[in-house]
Amino acid sequence: MKNRLIKTLAGITLSFSIVFSGVALASPQSASAATVSKSDVAEKVIATGKQYLGVRYKFGAPAGRTDMFDCSSFTQYVFKKNGIKLPRSSRQQAKVGTYVPKSQLQPGDLVFSDTNRDGVINHVSIYMGNDKLIHTYRVGIGVTISKFKGSTWDKTYVTARRVI
Record the pTM: 0.79
Q: What percent helix, strand, coil does the chain show, rounded to 5?
A: 40, 20, 40
| pLDDT digits (tens), the chain, 164 positions | 555 545 554 555 545 454 444 444 444 444 444 578 999 999 999 999 999 999 999 999 999 999 999 999 999 999 999 999 999 999 999 999 999 999 999 999 999 999 999 999 999 999 999 999 999 999 999 999 999 999 999 999 999 999 99
Which is it for strands 123-129 and 157-162: parallel, antiparallel or unpaired?
Answer: unpaired
Cα end-to-end span (Å), the chain:
65
| Cα gap 68→136, rounded to integer Å | 10
Task: Provide the pLDDT for residue 21.
Answer: 47
Which residue, among 119, 97, 114, has the nearest Cα to 154 in the 3D structure?
114
Q: Which residues fall within 8 angstroms of residue 51, CB to CB, at 6 or more apart? A: none
Hey, which residues are catalytic here? 71, 123, 135
What's the topology of domain 38-162?
endopeptidase fold (from Nostoc punctiforme) (3.90.1720)
